[in-house]
Structure 1
């Protein structure tokens, strides 16, 4: 009876060890993929937003797809906030609000979209800088 338990133990423990090693290797591979990812939209995008309020937009897209949005109104009021692209490889901008409630919705694929801030709204467009 005791030999039976030891035999099961000697079979099960190595199998559990191998399963956990496989999971660790998968996690390391996923982490390396994320570290090596370069957004195809990386770079500086410049444009304007128009509507009930208008001004200039500067979008700095990082290697990972995070975006620094600079909004300039009346050439002297500047607001900077951060958002990101939705999912890896997506051109859609995540609808994150700035501290003042300014939200961009749209796509870098079409280089345009809409914006909203409280009860104001309009459209925006950008072009990628070389």
Structure 2
């Protein structure tokens, strides 16, 4: 009976090791994909926003899809905040508000969208530089 238990252990132990190794390989592969990813929207995008308030926009998109937004109001007051793209395929902006509450909605695929700041709203458009 003891020999039977050792036999089972000798068969089951390698199966656990193999499943653990495949998980490690999958994780390494996934990490490599993330490290090698380059957003198709990477670069500098410049444009304007208009509506109840207007000004200029500069969107700097990193390799990973994170985004630095610089918003300038007509009186040359700048606000810089950070957000990211939501969808790699369509370049949707993640609706993350700035510290002052300015939020961009839309897509870099269409190069346009809407914005909201408290009770004010309007539209925006950009072009890639």
Task: State which drifts further: 86-95 or 13-22.
Answer: 86-95
Q: Which residue does 1:14 correspond to in 2?
A: 14
Q: Which runs of 5+ in 1 are unaligned?
A: none
Alpha-carbon distance change, 24 to 72 in structure 1, aligned in 2, over 3 angstroms: same
1:6-27 Cα offsets, whole Å, 9 max, x none, are 0110011100001000000000
> 2:32 aligned with 1:32, yes or no?
yes
Report if the CA contact (8 A) 1:104-1:116 is conserved: yes
Task: State which drifts further: 46-55 or 66-75.
Answer: 66-75
C-alpha separation between the residues in 2 aligned to 1:83 and 1:56?
17
1:68-90 Cα offsets, whole Å, 9 max, x none, are 00000024210000111114344
Aligned residues: CA RMSD: 0.8
Q: Which residue does 2:113 correspond to in 1?
A: 113
Alpha-carbon distance change, 90 to 27 in structure 1, aligned in 2, over 3 angstroms: farther
How many matched pairs?
A: 129
Q: Which runs of 5+ in 2 are unaligned?
A: none
TM-score by length of 2: 0.97
> 2:78 aligned with 1:82, yes or no?
no
1:45-82 Cα offsets, whole Å, 9 max, x none, are 00000000000000000000000000000242100001
Moved over 6 A (4+): none
TM-score by length of 1: 0.97
Report if the CA contact (8 A) 1:39-1:89 is conserved: no
> 2:47 aligned with 1:47, yes or no?
yes
